[in-house]
Amino acid sequence: MDYIVTSHLNPHLSGVAKFNRILAQRMNIPCISFDEVFNLHDVTMLLSIKLKDGIPFDHEKLMSMVNYMVDNNICYDLFFHTYDRLPVEDALIQHCRSVFCGNDEIKEAVGDVGKPVLSAWCPPLVNQEGHITESMINIFSFGMAHKIQVRHYKVLRDILEKFRLPYSFWVSTAFHEKASFGDFSSISHEMTTIFGSKIQFLGFLSDDAVNYFLDKTHIFTAFFQSGVRANNTSVFAAMQRGCAVLTNLDRYSPKWLAHGTNILDINQLQREDLELDVLRNIGAYAKRDADIHSTWHGLESLLKSPGCASETCSEGKRV
């Protein structure tokens, strides 16, 4: 076997992609996409696929891939994670050597096709040796995937490496209702390129889980296109938990935020700001000031203040 061909590409978003990546690593062969098949000839491969559920696919392109494999002496086996009697699935079966099925239900659905059809299984995808890595400086970030500002993280990495500070970086991402998994796919690739093995993606976390990681965090990071704003809720959540927050400040940031006192500005960051006792002090002041300036009670009072109450409006008057 020379290659594994995968229908899904991002192991952070797809069990099929993660399965194929692990299998390829264990077999010491490349894991490639459909598009890369068109560059090969005279090889053997395993097509490990799930077509109907989870990905948009071009039926004509996949049919042309089948024809290409036949014309270029590419021998292949199939591993079906699902089988939905799609025409392209049947075309793949017609020209393959054998069919491996992820479970007995799939095997029964494939039926007798005049070649070996074998029941297989999918081993656990969770790394039994995996664990959350902690270091001298634990860095944590949560928020919308599409809002991650990569350029500031490059600056942070350069600072940490310049001063040879041991660190671990945990990232939990959520998805905006108008965003797509592609946002995370792109961002996760960029962030992994920056931080390498130092970064761990935690997926979507509940409020309780977020608080758990905040309690283990030395620096919470949240960078914005221009600067932090009074309605950037993740920053205040971390501050109220007593975390030192590293962000970027500008003229529209809340006036009560001050670098080195209750927050850290990436554009002013110095080595001494990263001492653990300094981070603890900043976290303590962050909690104190966030409990004053960013509370629900304070917002309620503002909304009920004179000039905002509805009774000051003329009854029946239209604007």
**Which tops the pLDDT comparison, 124 or 111?**
111
Given a cut of 60, is residue 175 above it in pLDDT? no
Among 54-58, 197-201, 311-315, the range scoring the smallest mean pLDDT is 311-315
pLDDT band at 179 (very low <50, low <70, confident <90, very high): very low
pLDDT reported for residue 82: 93
In words, the CATH class of domain 3-119 is alpha beta
Q: Is the pLDDT of residue 109 over 60?
A: yes
Position 316 scores a pLDDT of 45
The H or E element containing residue 119 is strand 117-119
CB 169, CB 195: distance < 8 Å: yes
Q: Is a pLDDT exceeding 50 seen at residue 317?
A: no
Q: Taking 90 as the threshold, does the pLDDT of residue 276 lie above it?
A: yes
Share of the chain above pLDDT 90, in %: 71
Average pLDDT over residues 50-77: 86
Q: How confident is the model at residue 57 (pLDDT cuts 50, 70, 90)?
A: low
Averaged pLDDT, 260-289: 97
Q: Is 295 helix (H, G, I), strand (E, B) or coil?
A: coil
For the segment 38-43, the average pLDDT, to the nearest whole number, is 95
Instruction: Tell me which residue of 235, 231, 232 sits closest to 246, measured CA to CA.
Output: 235
pLDDT score for 110: 97
Question: Which residues are CB-neighbours of 154 under 8 A, at least 6 positions away?
Answer: 194
- Helix (H) or strand (E) holding 265, with range, is strand 264-265
- Structural class in CATH, domain 137-301: alpha beta
Residue range(s) occupied by CATH 3.40.50.2000 in the chain? 137-301
What's the whole-number mean pLDDT along residues 279-292? 97
pLDDT digits over 128-163, tens only?
Answer: 666 889 999 999 998 765 467 888 999 999 999 999
**Higher per-residue pLDDT: 317 or 264:** 264
Q: What is the pLDDT of residue 135?
A: 95
pLDDT value at 270 more than 70: yes
pLDDT above 70: residue 174: no
Alpha helices by DSSP H, listed for 132-257, are 150-162, 181-195, 207-215, 233-240
Rounded mean pLDDT of the chain? 88
What is the mean pLDDT of the segment spanning 81-94? 94
* Beta carbons within 10 angstroms of residue 82's beta carbon: 20
In terms of Cα–Cα distance, which of 88, 89, 93, 133 is closest to 115? 93
Distance CA 186, CA 191 (A): 9
Of residues 315 and 214, which shows the higher confidence score?
214
43-57, 70-84, 191-205: which has the minimum mean pLDDT?
Answer: 43-57
pLDDT of 11 strictly over 80? no
Predicted local confidence at residue 55, as pLDDT:
57
